[in-house]
Structures are given as C-alpha cells and as structure tokens.
Chain A
Amino acid sequence: MTNKYVSKINRRDSLKWLGSLSSFVVVGGVVVACDTPQEPMPDVTGESNWPNLTFEPINAPGYGTDPDLLNPTTPWPKTLTEEQLNLVAHLSDIICPADDGGPSATDVGVPDVIDEWVSAPYPAQQSDRVLILNGLHWLDDEAGRRFGSIFIVASAPEQLQIIDDIAFETQKEVAEFEHAALFFDKLRTLVFGGYFTTPEGMADIGYMGNVPILGDYPGPTEEAMVHLNEVIANLPA
C-alpha cells in the first residue's frame, strides 16, 4: 500500500474546493443552515493522552461579503503538511472506502476538501483545525504507545485496533478516548460531507435534482408512491 496521497484536483480547481459542518434544510425556498453547534472541548484530564496542542491562527483573507457566485474562488492557501495530508487521506478511505455504491473518498479528492477546510480563516473551521490537527497528532502518539511506530506505518489490524477505540459514539463516554472520539466524529462528518457532495457522491446517494424540468413538477414516481403507501399502511395506530 502506498501512503502517498496524490491530489485529485489541479491547482486552479483546488482554489474552488472547500468544506463545513452544516446541513442544509430548505425553508421557505431559502436554504437554512442547521449549524451543528461547536461542542466545547472537554478538559484534558489525567486519563487522556490528548496532546492539546495550540496552533497559530490562520490569518488569510476570507472570500468577502460579495464574492463572484458564478465563478467561486477560494483565496486562502492550504496548510496541511505532506505527512498530515497523507494521514488524512489514509483515514478518509478507512472511513469511506470504495464499495458497490461508489468510489472511495480519496478517489474523489476528499483530502483536498479537508485541507481547504482546516485552512479556512473562519472561526468554525479554525476550531475544527485545532481538533483535526490534534487528532492526527494523537493517532501517531497512540500508535507509538501501542506499537512503537507512527500510525500510518502500523499494520492494518493495528490501525483498526486504535480506530475501533475512537470511531463509535459510545467511546465519547470513555475518558481515555473522549477527545479522540470527538476528533473522529468530526473527521467522519467532513469525509462523508466531502464525498457525498461530489458528483460521484451525489450519484451514489441518489440525488437526482438540479436539473430543469419543463412543465409541471411531476411529483413522486410510481415506485416512490408504492413505497409511501406501504409506509402509510403500517403507520402506528
């Protein structure tokens, strides 16, 4: 296995790519963001090996309050080191491997999305940056403690042993893994967000909109109505 991530986008395109942690709901024809509130990080206690590193804030400019919406550009530079990007890429495919439904996260350039994300000058992304960079650091520390190596060169079963300790919601309750589990949750959200927003990811999930339909909106398909009627027939009394 090669551990070198080769960016899937060229330099020009890379200036157009980015990511955030909000889902969109259409309300009144306008898109309303349901921002997931930034969870305050728990204090680091004796049981945690969370490195709790601090980082220089990103001072690059944002895109401003009147950007060109037809030709979006991203003015801030990416900041992940090669090692960090490789680890992000490796984790991205652990989280989102290729399967029958679609390609892997790295196949569609998700690590570039995460690099753009953690390099953005906005508060939410800067907060994510601290969590992600500490998390990457923690993975190497943890692999060192357990296996005497950095994470990416540990064996696949060794890597998954660590991942299994931090990848599940219930692990946020385990003091030793609380911070790392929050990190993994964030990374997973970014990876799936990055993946399912790509054309390949949209095809995978089955988003069929954003195409003009002339004439009246046709409504649900017959198949969709058959399913709905089954759901209705089985509603709670």
Chain B
Amino acid sequence: MASYDGFEYDVLIVGSGAGGGMSAHILTEAGIKVLMLEAGRDYDPVEETPMFQMNHEAPLRGVPTPDKETFGYYDATVNGGWWVPGEPYTKAEGTEFLWWRSRMLGGRTNHFGRYVPRFNDRDFKPFSHDGLGVDWPLDYDEVQPWYDKCEKLVGVSGNNPGVYDVPDSGEGVLQPHAQPRVYELLVEEACKKLGLPIVPMRRAVLTRAIDTREACFNATDCGRGCSIGAAFQTTTSVIPWAKDTGNLKVLTDAMVREVHLNDEGKASGVTFVNKKTREDVRLDAAVVILAASACETARLMLNSKSERFPNGLANSSGQVGRNLMDSTGANFSGHVPALRGRPRYNEDGLSGNHLYIPWWDYEGQDNGSVKFKRGYHLEIGGGFGEPGMGVGGSADGYGASAKQMVRDNYGSNISLYLRGEMVVNENCFCEIDPDVKDEWGIPVLRFHWKWSDEEYNQVAHGLEWSKKIIEAMGGYVTTSGTTPEEALLPGGEIIHEVGTTRMGDDPTTSVTNKWGQCWDVDNLYIMDGGVFASNPHKNCTITILTLAMKNSTYLAEQLKGDA
C-alpha cells in the first residue's frame, strides 16, 4: 500500500469532477482507500455559493469580463474560464477552439447546466447505423441499469415521454419534473402545430429532498452552484460522501505533471506540483485513475513518455489526443410580439429548461431525406429572468416612451439553442505544443479543429426549423447570423469535449477497453469523457457519471478479488 502524509491508499484519482468524484464514491464505499488529486483550490459550495446575490450587488452588474468570462461574475468557475492564469493552450494556425477549465474542487460539475439526457441504443452504435465514426464497445442494454442507478443516486427530475430519443428511466428512478412556464408552453404549441416533440428536460435538480440534499426552492441560477445540494455537483454529494467513509483523502492545489511507469509496464504513481510550495511531489499507487477531463487527461498521458511509450503513456494505438469532439452549437433568437407586456409572475423555476425539443427525425436520417447523420436537440431560452445590463438594448429614442418599450419587451424574446452531435473526424485533435509550457513547466496542449459538412448541414436544418418555430408563434427572427457558417459556434464552446482517449474493442484503434481500462497499462483507468467513442447530442455529464460508476464498480470487484 502506498502512503502520503500518513494516509495509506490503493488508488490514486486525478481529478474531482464528474468522473473522479463518482469513482471516489464507488471505491470508498467498497472499502478501498483513495487519494484524490485536484489541480485547483479547495471549494465548498455550502460556504461559497452566492445563492441570492443580485446583479446590482456585483461589479459591472455581474456581466462577463476577462476575469469571469461568458457566464458572468457569479458563475461557479474558480481561476478559470476560457483561459487559466499561467496555464495557456495553443491552437494550430486556422483553428478556432475554446477550452473551458476551472481550478477548483469539483471541477466543472459546480457550474454545469444539470441537463442530463441519457443516450439511447442508437447512440452507442453510430457506425452500425450510418457508417461514420466507430461504435462503442458497449450497448444500451448493458449501460441501461447503470443509468437507472446513477440517475437515482444523482437525483434527476424528468419523465418518460415515450420518445425514442429519450429512453425511459426505470420505475421509480425519476423525480417529478417542474411545470412549464408561459414561453415554454407557447413553444410547445408551436411544436404541436409543426409536429415536433417537446418534452420535460431531464435535470440533475432535485424536486424532492434526498437525505441532506434539499429540494430546489425554485430560485437562483444553477450555474452559481447550489449551497443546498439540490443541483448536483460532486462537492455537495459524492466527494463529501466518500470523505465520510474515512477512505478518501483529497489534495487540492495538486497539479499532476506525469504518470510513472515501472519496469513491469504498470503505472506506479504520479508526480504532482504542489501549487502552493511550487515543489514536485512523487506519489506511488497500485492503481491510477485519470479523470482530469478529456483534454487534460490526454495532455497528461502525452506528457508521460517512457522508453516503452515514447509517444505518451498507453498510446500504442496513437489515439491519445485524437478523436476530439464537442457538441455543435448555434443560438437562434426571435421576438414574439404577442408576448409583449404579458402578465408578470415568477418564472425562475429550476433556472434552466423545463421543456426542450429532443431530436425527432431518425426516419429522415434513415431514408436520406435529412442531409446529415446525427441528431440535435433544441433548448429553449426566454422568460422573466433577472434583468441584466442588456435589458434595454432594443429600446429606441428616450424618455417615458423608451422606458415603456423596455418594460413591454421584457419576457417577449424566445431563443432556441441547437446542441447537436458532431461526427468524429481526423482534423479535430489535441497534441503537445513543442514550444510552450505552462507556469509549472508542463508542456501545453495545441488544438486542431475543423468542422465537416455533417455539422454545417445539421446546423442549416436547425436554423430552418428554429425559424419555423419562431414564426409559428407569430414571431420574427432577430438573430443576425443565419447561415450555418455564421451560426455554428467554435469548437469547444459548448464545453462538451470528449473522445481523446476513446474506448473500443480493438487495442489498435482505441485507448481503453469498455471498462475504461487502458489496453497498454492494465492498472491505468480513464474515468472522464475522454473514453467516449462518439459524442451524442445529449449533454455528456450523466454518461460520464454513469460510466464512472459502472467502471469503478468493476474496478472495485477486481481489487477485492485480488485481496
């Protein structure tokens, strides 16, 4: 048994987000001692979440700045965003790519959207259906009971709408979903007219308390994190539970530099930088789990070179860093005059979508009437949100009439956000930049990115249908970029990057087997989104959690068997 600071452990986990957190929970429950390393600082949502703070209390009314990018002042991202101080990444010439990171316990689970749609049978076998990409070494039937178990543990509100894109959860798994709001009901009406499905969004937001985690009290944005534990994040659930077993020790500000390999070809431990002292520390371990996020894990493996693996640890396939995928994203907005000046009421609800439009045209993909192979869904934006600095952006003139315009306009815009599946392609990958290192001396990633016609055709379809939906509500389109090229957001921007250490049945074309166990190094496991063989349009976190649960259970059985 390895030890650090008097704590003896079997398994070392790199990362405390969805994969690392869930893995720590499963292993420690099984009585296995775990040391977890997190590159960011310690973070406690109970103490730190700004639950009711308002825009007027924040600098610049809470708007995004280079210090708190995109999601604004109150977002639960610490020392991160599209750039991390002292830890750059680079892009090949002509590449547009964005990489969201945070440096905090719990990682990006602290701020994610809590949209948790599960994959269906087809999502696991994309190649078999359309000849593109690769199949997973898993099928839905094998994962289905784990989805149930994971959703039950996480706490998911939603329903079983009987739509193919949204497979049923087991009896008693889901909690009641929240009632739709006026703008969602109007979109529902438009969808009925157009023959589109619209269903409750599965949300990792409790509507019923579970133990000490309270039910959502229908206020404040989930992106700030949740001090009452209603919105799932590892820092109010799996990590504290794992600590409670006495089997977990967490080291924060511990940035792993390298994974070591011993003479037998096994992972023997890691070296991390203690960010506070700036010293390197070497740790031993019987088993190493990488769950640092798809790209950070690939970076770590590519930086861990040895005689046996000159191209990076467990990379005999050459696939580490390859097959990088994000979701496609395109945002589409409209104004609905009939909603102007509508009666006010509290539309906070669960803060995100209560309804959304799942992918509907599998048939069109099969018969070729749809000119792309993979689906998308449409999320819905609108409502009486807390006013921000842009609330008066569409007023004209001045004085009482302009002031009234702002009031009338409030709550009358509806947005549709396309989030779709991209097809894996050889032009999207990350590698080590030969010249650039971060402030800890660790070589950084260089990204390469290129969309294919699959994605442009998909976005064109989404734009067409979004326009139909807006117009079916009597609205008109206000988005300026209406070609797919203008509308498709840069790679990485949807923050669903996966695939860089994919699982498979063939060691020459994949990095791990279906258990996330590296083909080349059998005591090295990957528990983050890197193992995804494809990236269905369904937000990745619930599947990362589910696979980490399934694969950590397998690992625990192996370790118990050894004992």
Mark A residues whose CB is within 8 Å of B: 16-36, 62-67, 69-70, 72-74, 94-97, 99, 101, 113, 116-117, 120, 122-125, 163, 167-169, 184, 188-199, 201-202, 204-221, 223-228, 231-232, 234-236
Contacts and interface: CB of A to CB of B under 8 A. Distances in A.
Given A63-B59, A64-B67, A28 B390 contact: no
7 contacts: A29-B114, A65-B81, A192-B402, A201-B387, A217-B178, A217-B350, A219-B180
A16 to B, nearest CB: 6
Interface in B166-201: 176, 178-182, 185-186, 189-190, 193
Interface string B220-242: 11111000000100000000000
Contacts of A184: 398
A228 B62 CA distance: 32
A58 B351 CA distance: 36
A69 B350 contact: no
A153 B75 CA distance: 45
Contacts of B2: none
B70 A33 contact: yes
B534 interface: no
Contact of A194 (B61, B386, B393, B395): B61
A62 B351 contact: no
A20 B69 CA distance: 13
Contact of A25 (B58, B381, B393): B381
B181 A27 contact: no
A220 B181 contact: yes
Q: Which of B60, B85, B221, B345 has the most CB of A within 10 A?
A: B60
B397 A168 contact: yes
Contacts, number: 330
Contacts of A204: 407
A173 B549 CA distance: 60
Contact of A122 (B65, B224, B393): B65
Contact of B346 (A33, A208, A214): A208
Bin the interface of chain B by size. 35 or more
Given A72-B73, A235-B474, A168 B396 contact: yes
B60 A36 contact: no
Interface stretch (B29-37, B45-53, B431-439): B45-53
B63 A21 contact: yes
Contacts of A194: 61, 389
Interface of B is mostly: loop
A20 B403 contact: no
B189 A235 contact: yes
B379 A28 contact: yes
A115 B417 CA distance: 35
B61 A197 contact: yes
B113 interface: yes
A198 B56 contact: yes
Contacts of B231: 29
A139 B375 CA distance: 54
B364 to A, nearest CB: 25
B328 interface: no
Nearest to B58: A72
Given A21-B393, A191-B392, A31 B384 contact: no
A29 B388 contact: no
B501 interface: no
Interface string B73-113: 11100111100010000000000000000000000000111
Nearest to A65: B79
A65 B67 contact: yes
Nearest to A230: B338
B563 interface: no
A219 B181 contact: yes
A189 B392 CA distance: 5
A168 to B, nearest CB: 6
